[in-house]
Structure 1
Amino acid sequence: MSTAALITLCRSGGFHVRRRALLTFKLLQDEKRVVLLCQSSTSDRRSSQFDVDGGGRLPSWDSFGIWDNRIDEPILLPPSIKYGKPIPNVSLSKVGCVTQIGQRKENEDRFSIGMLTDNVLYFAVFDGHGGIAAADFCHKYMAKHIAQCLSQEEDLEVVLTKAFYETDKEFARHVHLSENVSFLASGTTATVALLRDSIELVVASVGDSRAILCRKGKHKRLTEDHTPERKDERERIKKCGGFVAWNSLGQPHVNGRLAMTRSIGDLALRSVGVIAEPETRRIKLQHGDDAFLVLTTDGINFIMNSQEICDHISQCHDPVEAAQVIAEQVLHYGAEDNSTIIVVPFGAWGKHKHTGTSFSFSRSFVSSGRWA
């Protein structure tokens, strides 16, 4: 291409051409910038989080006009080059996790985070019922089954579906060998997220624990509750010979016993349509807009709606503080159930802040004293 043609292209291409050229140059020119970010101490990063005038603040990718990454994570070069845009490293050390017993006699919630391979992170919450057996089993063995499937399968949705089935089958064998009749009534929700290359997010869920993505300050539900209120779920239960009964509070239950239509465990209700097959969702993260992922159990969901959770977290300094704030808030609002939350930060952490307060019918219901 001639010099004149190149000049003409740059003038006509405008912003996009110059931005692409700048991005390519910054990614390839010098890896020392990334090394510097990796070697910076936690205290240095914390002290520079909101240094808006740039004095003493470590270089972030906001200086390239792409996003304001307030957690100052280094950029992953191989995925960035592969996907053609900068991708920040999502570090387990930045993830916030809290579980609390509430006013129950025992905490039947469990959660897990970890690194399954060099490029796949694992996050999960389990909300047990009918005892802790099923939730404990998932906490111990779900990650193992996912890791086994990852060695054989590339598609993360297929991996999660197979892992849910295998975990449920193995729990059934465990119950059979234990000969403990009480385990037949034990079950758990399971909401699991896998993050590959810090950009490919896949979520699988059974029950009513939730996964929520905060994008541009707005909540984006990645899971749907599996309850008899859903027509498709209710029809499956009836087709399998089960029935739905409503209690005095107007809540539907399968065969008058279980508030959800999918779970791991609950072996006594398998014959009436309660299944362990998860619904899955795949999301390609937009780190310029996506601030964080939240996994919650219903001890939080019943008290705070999804947007309210996002708004509270958006006001916090870091994900660890955010998880603690949400856990304390639901207690303040009168929660009695076990509650668990995981907060995973992404590139736009701290970028979008909202000060409005959302109305929560559930919280108003609890605060009225009917549940106290």
Structure 2
Amino acid sequence: ASAFTVTSLTRDHRPDDEEEAERVRQHGGEIRKLRENSGAARVFSKGQDRPALALTRTLGASAASECGVSAEPDVSAYRLRPGVDVLLVLGTDGLFEFCSNTTAAGQILKEGVTDTCLSSLCRASRRQWAQSSYNETVDDITAIAAVLPPDNPACLGS
């Protein structure tokens, strides 16, 4: 693929984000590490050892709303630039934990928006998860891509 620029349209909602941490605290949650020597900050109910979530917004964890975890999305708008914005890549944090936006976009621009390409990105992230956690933890990993506009030859593979 030729030179390209990646524009990130979202941010991770994690306890180590100061704005998210403050929102969690204001809604009764506590931010701390799971263990003293554990690197990741987590969300807890005050004085409890649960739920120990490594995220501050999620769908489906309604019980965690008592400690400030929210299902409310962080919404923004982005005006597409015809001829400039040619690809939209959506992925879970499980995908992007080990795969940069630039790596994902580059592979898709090179190989095209295909099941094979997207599955390859997901498998590579799954391998990284397994290696980093000694096969104890693998996050959900999903990748979706759309060509803008749908018939743009720039994203149909080389």
TM-score (norm 1): 0.34
Secondary structure in structure 2 of the residue aligned to 1:281 = coil
- 2: CA distance, partners of 1:318 / 1:266: 32
Query: Where do 1:1-372 residues align within 5 Å?
Result: 217-247=4-34, 248-255=37-44, 257-331=52-126, 333-336=127-130, 337=138, 338-347=140-149, 348-350=152-154
CA contact 1:313–1:326 (8 Å) conserved in 2: no
- Indicate the structure (1 or 2) with the bigger Cα radius of gyration: 1
CA contact 1:319–1:345 (8 Å) conserved in 2: no
Alignment-derived partner of residue 133 in structure 2? none
- The offset of 1:271, in angstroms, is 2.1
Which of 316-325 and 224-233 deviates more? Answer: 316-325
Secondary structure in structure 2 of the residue aligned to 1:294 = strand
Give the direction of change, closer, same or farther, for the CA distance of 1:318–1:225 in structure 2 (3 Å limit): closer
Secondary structure in structure 1 of the residue aligned to 2:95 = helix
* CA deviation vs aligned residue, 1:56-78 (integer Å, no higher than 9, x gap): xxxxxxxxxxxxxxxxxxxxxxx
Give the direction of change, closer, same or farther, for the CA distance of 1:300–1:230 in structure 2 (3 Å limit): same
User: 2:43 corresponds to which letter in structure 1?
Assistant: V
Give the direction of change, closer, same or farther, for the CA distance of 1:264–1:329 in structure 2 (3 Å limit): closer
Give the direction of change, closer, same or farther, for the CA distance of 1:294–1:318 in structure 2 (3 Å limit): closer
- The offset of 1:316, in angstroms, is 0.7
Alignment-derived partner of residue 135 in structure 2? none
Give the direction of change, closer, same or farther, for the CA distance of 1:316–1:250 in structure 2 (3 Å limit): same
Larger % of strand: which? 1
Give the direction of change, closer, same or farther, for the CA distance of 1:241–1:317 in structure 2 (3 Å limit): closer
- The offset of 1:349, in angstroms, is 4.9
- The offset of 1:220, in angstroms, is 1.1
Structure 2: runs of 5 or more not aligned: 131-137
CA contact 2:42–2:55 (8 Å) conserved in 1: yes
Give the direction of change, closer, same or farther, for the CA distance of 1:323–1:288 in structure 2 (3 Å limit): same
Larger % of helix: which? 1
* CA deviation vs aligned residue, 1:272-314 (integer Å, no higher than 9, x gap): 2222221112222223112211111122111111111111111
- The offset of 1:322, in angstroms, is 2.6
- The offset of 1:327, in angstroms, is 2.3
User: 1:350 corresponds to which letter in structure 2?
Assistant: A
- 1: CA distance, partners of 2:23 / 2:16: 12
- 2: CA distance, partners of 1:269 / 1:300: 23
- 1: CA distance, partners of 2:57 / 2:141: 20
